[in-house]
Amino acid sequence: MRPMLATPGTTVPTGSQWAHEIKWDGMRVLADVREGTVRLFARSENDVTVSFPELRSLGSVADDLLLDGEVVAFRAGTPSFEALAERMHVPDGRKAARLASTTPVTYVAFDLLRLHGEDLTGRPLAERRAMLERLELAGGSVQVPPIYDDGRALAEATREQGLEGVVSKRLDSPYRPGRRSQDWLKFPHRPTISCVVGGWRPETGSMGRLGSILVGVPGQAGLLYRGRSGAGLAGRAGGRLLELLRPLETDESPFVDEVPRVDALGATWLRPELVVDLAALRVTTAGRLRQPAYRGVRSDLRPSDLATSTNTPTDSRRS
């Protein structure tokens, strides 16, 4: 099963038919528990159980349940995607266990999709949420986040606290697996875009260190160029990313449109397989990212997951 997705909104809705939650800066994960065994699945449906050994405690909650939530790494009480990036693509169990002791994660469970063998996706969110709260999951590596009546006040509070934003959900809405619905609306404070890496350039004066990446988004004709980013790649972040890029090197540009000569100069082209997140000041009307900064690899996403409707260029900041 793939998770239900929120649609970008323009104005936080009001009224008693809506519930509002904090938008967590983490990795979307479905937690499937059967007979005490926990399996974790990313939005791409990849099994990521081995990466998060501390979440095995979910197996003691019930013999059979399916949760929707976000894996979050907190630093000083605030979600840190940079910290989470260290945990997201760790296929080795022993390394994952070591990282769990130094950079632990929390599973923020916000929906209940199955319990004791019963499929709950057709029930309204209000019922699913009440059943989730009765499970008393909070504690250890698991949290059930609160919901709020006043979404606009929550949006202002999360902005002041430097949090990711707000998600507003209709209380009467069923859960629609794999679908992007107007019943769930998202309002991020920072414009972040997921892109596919199509090339890389070395650091000036160095042939061995990563200096910048060339990124794009999938369109109907292929990969559309969105710009070049060097910010956020210093130190270990750039080294780790380059290790993932080297096996993807190829002879031809994967972009279907023209890459400006100033960006293409000295570039090594890549097969368009790796997805990363970038924070950008804005996206110009020409479709270019303005002052993009690398945030981390999205091993939970494939290029085919990047619907063009969620990456539409705009000349203003996204809410």
Distance in angstroms (rounded) separating the CA atoms of residues 75 and 84:
10
Query: Looking at the domain assignment, is residue 136 inside a domain?
Result: yes
Query: Looking at the domain assignment, is residue 47 inside a domain?
Result: yes
For the question of residue 169 being annotated catalytic, the response is no
> Are the beta carbons of 12 and 151 closer than 8 angstroms?
yes
> Are the beta carbons of 213 and 200 closer than 8 angstroms?
yes
pLDDT < 70: residue spans in the chain: 191, 206-207, 281-282, 307-319
Query: Looking at the domain assignment, is residue 316 inside a domain?
Result: no
Regarding whether 217 and 163 lie in a shared domain, the answer is: no
Strand partners, 39: 32
Among 168, 188, 208, residue at a domain's last position: 188
Q: What is the pLDDT of residue 34?
A: 95
The type of residue at 20 is: H
Angle, helices 93-102 vs 81-88, to 10°: value is: 160
Average pLDDT across the chain, whole number: 90
Q: What is the pLDDT of residue 281?
A: 64
Distance in angstroms (rounded) separating the CA atoms of residues 202 and 88:
25
Distance in angstroms (rounded) separating the CA atoms of residues 167 and 187:
6
Regarding whether 66 and 178 lie in a shared domain, the answer is: yes
Among 188, 213, 238, residue at a domain's last position: 188
Q: What is the pLDDT of residue 207?
A: 65
Regarding whether 198 and 172 lie in a shared domain, the answer is: no
CATH number assigned to the domain comprising residue 36: 3.30.470.30
Regarding whether 199 and 105 lie in a shared domain, the answer is: no
Q: pLDDT tens across 93-113, in order?
A: 999 999 999 999 999 999 999
CATH number assigned to the domain comprising residue 264: 2.40.50.140
- pTM, whole model, 2 decimals? 0.71
Residue-range definition of the domain harbouring residue 240: 192-310
Q: What is the pLDDT of residue 75?
A: 87
Q: How far is CA 188 from CA 6, 58, 90, 234, 236, in A?
A: 11, 29, 28, 26, 28
Q: What is the pLDDT of residue 83?
A: 85
Task: Tokens for 121, please give them.
Answer: 């996706």
CB neighbour list of residue 316: distance below 8 Å, 6 or more residues apart: 282
Regarding whether 132 and 46 lie in a shared domain, the answer is: yes
Among 145, 167, 188, residue at a domain's last position: 188
Count how many domains the chain has: 2
Q: What is the pLDDT of residue 44?
A: 84
